[in-house]
Amino acid sequence: MKTLQTKFCNVTFPSPLISVSGIVTSPQANAVLAKEKGIGAITWKSVSLRERKSHPVPVVVPYSSGYINSVGLQNPGLEQAAKDILHIKKQIRVPLIISIVAFQISEFYPLALGVAKTRPDFIEINLSCPNVDDEAGKPFGTDLLMTTLAIQEVKRAAGDIPVIAKLTPNVVDITEFARAAEEAGADAISAINTSGPGLLIDVSKRKPKLGHKIGGISGKAIKPLALRCVYEIAKTVNIPIIGIGGVSTGEDAIEMIMVGATLVGVGSAIFGVGNSIFPKIAQQMQDIMEKHHIRDLKSIKKCID
C-alpha cells in the first residue's frame, strides 16, 4: 500500500486530504470527522472577534454543477470558539487548522492572539471578507495592501504558529496576491475560496434560491478555476500550497498535486457523500498511484510545466 503521509510546513500529516473551512461546522462533528480514515487535518469554520448570525435561509443550495452559499460567516465569536477549540483539540489526533475572519485590519491582531492561545497547528486567514473601512466594502483579498496588512497583523500575533493565507479567485491576477502573501510572511497559501458571487433563480417562486440572493460558488464547477490558480501560484512562490476547489475524487486530488499543491482540501463533496468521502478519495489516490507506478506524492508534485 502506497503511503499518503505528507509533510507541510514541517508538520507531518497522515494524508494530504484535509477538510476545508465552513462545511462541517459544529465542534463535535469535527471531532467525529477527525477520526475518519484518510483524513489528514481538520480546518475549523472561520472565527470572528464577535458572534455572527447566519444570513436568511436557505444558505446553501445545490445545483447541477456544484453549490452556491451565503452562510454569512456565522460563528459564535472568539470567546466561545476558543473554549470549543480547547475542548476538541484533546479529542483529535490530526493537525488542526483554525480559520479566522475579520472585518477591519485592527481586528486581526486581537483575534489571532486569542486563537494562538489555544495552540492550533496552523492559523488560516480567510481574506474573502469585506473590509468595512473600505468605502466599496471590497474584500481584503482583492486589495494588495490590505492583504499584506492583514497577514502582517496575524503573523505578529501568531508567534511560532504557521500562518496560511487563503486567497480568493475573484481577482484579475492571483499571482500578485500570492507574491504579496509570501512577502508579508505567510508560511503557506490556500487557494481557492468560493468563486463569484453567483445567483440562482427559482422560476416557480419567481425569486432567488438563496435567502441572501447572491452567494459563493463551490464544488465541481470551480475545479478548473482552482487548478489554474494553484498552477499559477506554484510557479510564483516558494511556500507550500493547499489546493482547494471542486475536489471529489482521487483523480481530482492527484491533479491538484500535479499542479503544485502539497495538501488538498475537500469541501462541498462532503455535502453529497458525507465523511466517508475521505477514505473513498484516499483509496482512489492509492489505486491511481499503483496503476501509474507513482512511487510517492512528492514525485508527482508540480510535474506540469
Ligand X SMILES: Cc1cc2nc3c(=O)[nH]c(=O)nc-3n(C[C@H](O)[C@H](O)[C@H](O)COP(=O)(O)O)c2cc1C
DSSP E strands in 192-301: the ranges are 195-199, 201-202, 207-208, 214-218, 241-244, 263-266
Looking at residues 199 to 218 of the shown chain, list those that interact with ligand X (rule: CB under 6 A).
Answer: 218
- The least distance separating ligand X from the CB of residue 234, rounded to whole angstroms, comes to 17
Q: How far apart are the first and last CA of the chain?
A: 29
Determine the angle formed by the axes of helices 174-183 and 144-158, rounding to 10 degrees. Answer: 30
Looking at residues 220 to 279 of the shown chain, list those that interact with ligand X (rule: CB under 6 A).
Answer: 222, 244-247, 266-268
Determine the angle formed by the axes of helices 250-258 and 277-291, rounding to 10 degrees. Answer: 60
- The least distance separating ligand X from the CB of residue 219, rounded to whole angstroms, comes to 5
54 labeled part of a ligand binding site: no
Residues 6+ apart with CB under 8 A from 20: 43, 244, 265, 266, 267
Applying CB under 6 A, among 6, 48, 99, 147 the residue interacting with ligand X is 99
- Written as one letter, the residue type at 92 is I
- The least distance separating ligand X from the CB of residue 91, rounded to whole angstroms, comes to 21
Determine, following the binding rule CB under 6 A, whether residue 126 of this chain makes contact with ligand X. Answer: yes
User: Could you tell me if 242 and 190 are in contact, meaning their C-beta atoms sit under 8 angstroms apart?
Assistant: yes
172 labeled part of a ligand binding site: no
Measured from the CB atom, is 218 or 262 closer to ligand X? 218
- The least distance separating ligand X from the CB of residue 246, rounded to whole angstroms, comes to 4
Cell 503544485 locates to 260
Looking at residues 5 to 64 of the shown chain, list those that interact with ligand X (rule: CB under 6 A).
Answer: 20-23, 45-46, 60
- What letter does residue 52 receive in the DSSP assignment? B
Determine the angle formed by the axes of helices 105-116 and 144-158, rounding to 10 degrees. Answer: 30
Which residue out of 9, 129, 229, 303 is catalytically annotated?
129
250 labeled part of a ligand binding site: no
Pick the stretch among 65-73, 76-84, 147-155, 286-294 that binds ligand X (CB under 6 A). Answer: 65-73
196 labeled part of a ligand binding site: no
129 is an active site residue: yes
Measured from the CB atom, is 2 or 251 closer to ligand X? 251
| Joined grid coordinates for residue 199 | 445567483
How far apart CA 70 and CA 59 sit, in angstroms, is: 5
Applying CB under 6 A, among 166, 242, 254, 285 the residue interacting with ligand X is 166
Which residues are documented as binding site for FMN? 21, 45-46, 126, 166, 192, 219, 245-246, 267-268
Q: What are the residues binding ligand X (CB under 6 A)?
A: 20-23, 45-46, 60, 67, 69, 71, 73, 99, 126, 166, 193-194, 218-219, 222, 244-247, 266-268
Residue positions annotated with a catalytic role: 129
